[in-house]
Structure formats: C-alpha cells, structure tokens
Chain A
Amino acid sequence: MYIQLSLLFILSMPAWANDDLEIKKVFSSYEKIYTQEKTSLVSEVFSEKFLEDHGGEKEFKENIEKMPFPSYELEIKPGQMDKDIKIVKMIPKGHKGHVNNLFILKKIPSGRWKIEGTMSNED
C-alpha cells in the first residue's frame, strides 16, 4: 500500500511541479513588464479578463509604470475548490510582515497559466 501510494505521489509530482515552474516563468515575464524591459509580454502574462477589467490591453500598457522590483519568493497554493486556479503570494525576500495582495492565476484552455486578478490579502 505504501509503495503504491509513493509511486502515485511520484508519478503525479511532475504535473504540479510543471505548473509551479510555469507560474514562476509567468512572474519572470511579469517582472520584465514592470521594469519596462518588455511590455509586449502583457498579453502572455495577463488573461483577457484581467486586461478587460483594467480598460483593455492598449490602456493597460499605456499605464504601466516603471518601478523597482525587490527580490522575492513566490508562495504558490492550489485552489481549494477549483483545480484550474492557483493563489500566489509574492513575498519580498527577508520580509516578515503582511503582504498586501494575492494574485489569482487561472489555467486557460491551452494549458498555460495567466494572471486573472488580484485580491487584497485579508490573512
């Protein structure tokens, strides 16, 4: 039984490990947008819904403000009820306090993860 469970765990591991890896890539591109290194990545990072909610892709790009990015770690948690959702916390390195907002990432039909929204962190 334990062997079977261990095998199941090992076999299922690559799926979520891949998801987390891809989410880290999304945030690497996110960083490039806000350091204005590559704003063309907007549509790869943010979902259509996110961009619509923020005035559309054109307006969103125009409003991107260059800002310094601290080094950070990502805390990636699977959705408790929806498998196509991940809740991501961006924690600046060495930061012990409260993180202001959480990111909601959603898996789009092509299998890629994109930022769908943000929410105030009421932890």
Chain B
Amino acid sequence: MKTLGLIFLLAITMPWAWAEEDCFFCGILNLPSRIFPRPAVRDIQRVVEPLVDIQTPPLRRNSAAEYCRRDEDLVDTVVFHHSGGPSTQTITTINDGHVNRESNGRPWLMIGYHYAINSPYSGSRGSTTVSQGRPFNISGAHLGSDSYSNLSTSTRRLLTQDSNLECGVQGRRFSTPDDRFRNGKGKANYTTVGVVVIGNYAQVAPDNPGGYRRGRPRYPSSSALETAGRLACEIQRRHPRVTNISWHNAYKSTDCPGTIRQRIQQIKDVARRFGCTFN
C-alpha cells in the first residue's frame, strides 16, 4: 500500500518536477540545481533529435543515366534554389520533370536536388515539409555541368583524390571523371548540396508564366525560412565540412532562386540559433 502511495505521489508530481527549467526534482525537494542538473538530459535530446523531419518518398530513377558517387566529405556548400513551379508542386512532380529531361544528350538520373522544402507562399496557409531527393552521396544536378567555383584548400585536396569521386551508369564500370577542375576552379555540382524551396519566386516573363506580377513580389513564408535554416543546420551537424550557404544565381545568370536570395541571411540566422555557423 505504501509503495502504491509512493508511486502515485511520484506520478502526480513528475510533470511539476520536469517543468523546472534547470533541474530535475529541484521543484519538489527544493535542491540547488547543481545536484541534479537537468541540462544533461536536454543536451542528449539536442544531439539525438533531428532539427527537421525528413520524409523519404519513393522516387523514380532512369537506369540509363550516368551519375557520380562521391565521398560525402567533398561537400562544403548548401545551395538554395526555387523550383520555378507552383508551391503546390511535390518532390514527386519535380522528379517526374527531371527524370524526363536530359542535358547535352545525356539523361538525368532523378531529381537534381538533394532536399526539397514544400511550403506555401508568405501570406498563405499550409504546412511545411522536407523531403529527401537525390541521396547525399550522389552529386547533384542543380548548378549545371559548366558551373565551376573557387574551392578551399581542403576541398580542393579532397576533390583531387581519385577515390573520392567516380561516375558511371548503373551496372557498368565507374571511373574518376576528368572534368573536376577547369581554370583552377572546381566543378560546383561535385562539392555542393542542392536544396529547393518549392514555388516560383521570380517575376513573370515569357519563359515564366507562373511568376509573380511586376510590383507584387512573392516571398517564402517564415515557416519555409525556419525550415530552411533548420535543414541547413541539420546538414552541417551530419556533415561538419558544410560551412557555406549560397544560391543558384551566385553561380550563373538565372532568375533562380528569385526573392529567396533576399532571405539568405534570415536562413543563416535561424541556423545560428541552433548552433550552426555559415559563411
């Protein structure tokens, strides 16, 4: 009976004890927080719990396509894009577009981005989700085969090592590609991870009928920016060499990622809140 009473007492006081910010059971026993420090429990949660829930929908692949497997340490930069379609698009519809396309006669394996953020436009209602696109250890197809950028000394060294990158078609022999460097720069798709914020954040134009009207710009929602920052930080936690954030038109002349470009600092600020620092 006494034991039952004790269990009952513990059960009803537990929420109160845990509600204390700094210490476990301090609220009941009036103990100083250093005796039963609670932050240890929270720190464990910080390490274990991912900052974003990443969904993994099944995505079609074109088995005839060539692709490149890479050592994940090659990656040092997150690059943001917009999808150039409506915000109601899904990762599956983007994959359907990319799996049907080709560049210079060579078909694409699957969606070119590694992650996709689904979010309504600012001012609209709806939930925000993140989905996994191309696996991280497969080079992206999001900056173009002609995009080369300056590399840090460490990334250059890693890209120089033949064993860190090999390209080929499924079921055939893979080999190190000979297009890793050009004019002292490194091929951007090999050293970056592509994140697309689904939606059309560029102005209407002959080749962009779904763009926003002149003078009425569309922006990503605060939820999209929060998720983008969390995702960038989650990527850095998993891959500590990823310390840069960039955007598509930093590499080439394009209207992608539209107004998202103006929100990059906010994305970095969100990441900083979770302990991640980006250049």
Which residue in chain B gives the minimum CB-CB distance to A68?
B206
The proximity string for A residues 57-91 relative to B, scoring 1 for CB distances below 8 Å and 0 otherwise, is 00000010101011010000101111001010010
| Chain B residues within 8 Å of chain A by Cβ, number | 50
Contact (Cβ within 8 A) A87 B209: no
15 more contacts with CB within 8 A, not counting A81-B60, A100-B255, are: A34-B209, A70-B206, A72-B206, A100-B84, A101-B84, A117-B85, A117-B86, A119-B84, A119-B97, A120-B81, A120-B82, A122-B98, A122-B112, A122-B141, A123-B144
**A interface size (C-beta, 8 A):** 36
Residues of B223-279 at the interface with A, using a CB-CB cut-off of 8 Å, are 248, 252-256
CB of A104 within 8 Å of the partner chain? yes
Q: B102 touching A77 by the CB < 8 A rule?
A: yes
The answer to the question of A28 belonging to the interface, with a C-beta cut-off of 8 Å to chain B, is no
Most buried by A among B62, B65, B96, B141: B96
Distance, CA A120 to CA B113, complexed state (A): 11
25 contacts between A and B (CB under 8 A): A46-B209, A53-B85, A53-B86, A53-B210, A65-B213, A67-B204, A67-B205, A69-B206, A70-B206, A72-B206, A80-B62, A90-B207, A92-B206, A100-B207, A100-B256, A104-B97, A118-B84, A119-B97, A120-B83, A120-B85, A122-B113, A122-B141, A122-B142, A122-B194, A123-B103
User: A53 CA to B83 CA in the complex, in Å?
Assistant: 14
The yes or no answer to A109 lying at the interface (CB within 8 A) is no
Q: Are B99 and A81 in contact (CB under 8 A)?
A: yes
**CB of B232 to closest CB in A, whole Å:** 19
Closest B residue, CB atoms, query A27: B206
Interface locus among B7-15, B21-29, B87-95: B87-95
